Amino acid sequence: MPTNGERLSPLEMLSRLVAFDTESDKPNLALIDAVCAYLDGWGVPTRRFPNAAGDKAAIFATLGPVADGGVVLSGHTDVVPVTGQAWTSDPFTLRVADGRAYGRGAVDMKGFLALGLALVPDMLAAGLRRPIHLLLSYDEETTCLGSMDAIARFGDDLPRPAACLVGEPTGLDVADAHKSIVTCLTTVHGREAHSSRPELGANAVSAACDLVAALNGIADRMIERGDASGRFEPPSTTIHVGTIQGGTARNILARECHFHWEYRGLPDLDPGEIPSLFAQAAAEVTARRLNRYGAFGRIETLEEVAIPGLAPDPGSEAERLALRLAGRNHTVAMPYATEAGRFQGAGIPTVVCGPGDIAQAHQPDEFITLEALAAGEAFLRRLIAECAP
């Protein structure tokens, strides 16, 4: 990546970004170093926010005046793994063919980052009166925590923005709402005994099956309640059990069983409701099944990830700006989670709006069309014009 003020087209910038293997379980520092060097070449200072382990970092940069009231363009540098996927070319070498740019992260979401970075010279030349901030984060694909250190500094030693545009691929539709996601690990601790003498132990697998059935029951309640807004597909809060593992042998009461589960909540879901319902079910299963013959077992649930939803904020600065820039007259809702709820939780009006189709994200031969990339460029050029004199 150039360090001396050299211009790159969005496609050239995307090629440079895709070349960095920033799978979510790997460091992103090589990409961050390159972006910092590129911005430094244009005289743009950056603030770096490393993680605790020191192997990843987010960066924040301001184009235009260092002042409150600007617009944040937020995007994550991490991508999902490629292991086990049937790619027809190197996922970390951008391949352009048939009007598409193929590569891991091309649409989710290095395409948006490439546009923001490639247009830095134009932002500088425009003499912005309203600042445009670039925030490149990490760990969005796992926890959405990589932007939090920077967000915490807004209004302190970083300017406080008036709006945030999270550039996840929406086809430049303006999303003002999305579901939350909470992931949990439940471990059932039992007591081993021979299957001919069940009264001497506690079967963790049997108890876990009861808990999964309880989650199915809670899920049914959520489906019956539905989506009062009528905007989401599927039209309810959803609950899903992804893995379950336990037991030693068919003739031994299982000493331990654990399962991973998640729920994706509508924006109006009380965040304590499903944990409370599950805790009640766990207490019942402990008494009825696990400890039927004695105080042999217990149930533990660890909340691993909790990503807030994005609630509609009609007429917000972010919504009005994005609708104007995208040429849309209505907002949409999304079933998946993003970093947007983190910004909204800090009081920053936020929407999700970016180029490309989310259907291509996380897939083998992930791509963004050149048409979508051009539309995203036009969107950001309109933003520059709005922020200039």
pLDDT digits (tens, 9 = 90+) for 95-131: 999 999 999 999 999 999 999 999 999 999 999 999 9
Beta-bridge partner residues of 278: none
Same domain, 27 and 130: yes
Residue 128 domain flag: yes
User: pLDDT by residue (tens digit) across 11-52?
Assistant: 999 999 999 999 999 999 999 999 999 999 999 999 999 999
pLDDT of residue 4: 74
Coil/strand/helix, residue 236 = coil
Tokens of 315: 């007429």
Tokens of 159: 């300017």
Q: What CA–CA distance (Å, rounded) separates 242 from 221?
A: 19
pLDDT of residue 255: 97
Domain that holds residue 141: 10-178+310-387
Above 80 in pLDDT, residue 1? no
Question: Is residue 240 a contact partner of residue 267, using CB atoms and an 8 Å limit?
Answer: no
| Exposure on the CB side of residue 244, measured as CA atoms within 13 A | 17
Same domain, 166 and 190: no
- Pick from 307, 333, 360: which residue ends a domain? 307
Residue 197 domain flag: yes
- Pick from 289, 307, 325: which residue ends a domain? 307
Same domain, 102 and 208: no
Catalytic residue among 23, 108, 139, 140: 140
pLDDT of residue 153: 98
Same domain, 302 and 318: no
Residue 342 domain flag: yes
Tokens of 338: 């993003």
Same domain, 291 and 150: no
- Mean pLDDT over the full length of the chain: 97
User: For strand 331-334 and strand 174-178, is the pairing parallel, antiparallel, or unpaired?
Assistant: parallel
Coil/strand/helix, residue 262 = strand
Question: What CATH code is carried by the domain that includes residue 273?
Answer: 3.30.70.360
Q: Which of 334, 342, 368, 278 is nearest to 72 (CA)?
A: 342
Residue 5 domain flag: no
Residue 3 domain flag: no
Write out the H or E segment, with its range, that includes residue 35.
helix 29-41
Same domain, 258 and 284: yes
Same domain, 279 and 156: no
Crossing angle, helix 110-118 and helix 10-18, to 10 degrees? 130
Same domain, 255 and 188: yes
pLDDT of residue 6: 83
Same domain, 250 and 314: no
Residue 1 domain flag: no
Residue 367 domain flag: yes
Known catalytic membership, residue 149: no
Catalytic residue among 23, 78, 210, 256: 78
Q: What CA–CA distance (Å, rounded) separates 288 from 293?
A: 9
| 148: preceding bond cis by omega (within 30 degrees) | no
Residue 300 domain flag: yes
- Pick from 307, 337, 354: which residue ends a domain? 307
Crossing angle, helix 317-326 and helix 370-387, to 10 degrees? 120
Q: What dihedral angle (degrees, nearest 10) is formed by the CA atoms of 115, 116, 121, 122?
A: 80
Same domain, 173 and 44: yes
Question: Is residue 112 a contact partner of residue 380, using CB atoms and an 8 Å limit?
Answer: no
One-letter amino acid of 227:
D
Same domain, 171 and 28: yes
Above 80 in pLDDT, residue 3? no
What are the distances in angstroms from CA 154 to CA 68, 160, 176, 200, 365? 9, 5, 21, 59, 37
Known catalytic membership, residue 140: yes
Q: What CA–CA distance (Å, rounded) separates 270 from 256?
A: 31
Domain count along the chain: 2
User: pLDDT by residue (tens digit) across 74-85?
Assistant: 999 999 999 999
Question: What CATH code is carried by the domain that includes residue 21?
Answer: 3.40.630.10
What are the distances in angstroms from CA 304 to CA 48, 262, 263? 26, 10, 12
Same domain, 39 and 135: yes
Sequence-distant (≥ 6) Cβ neighbours of residue 133 within 8 angstroms:
60, 61, 62, 63, 70, 71, 72, 73, 159, 161
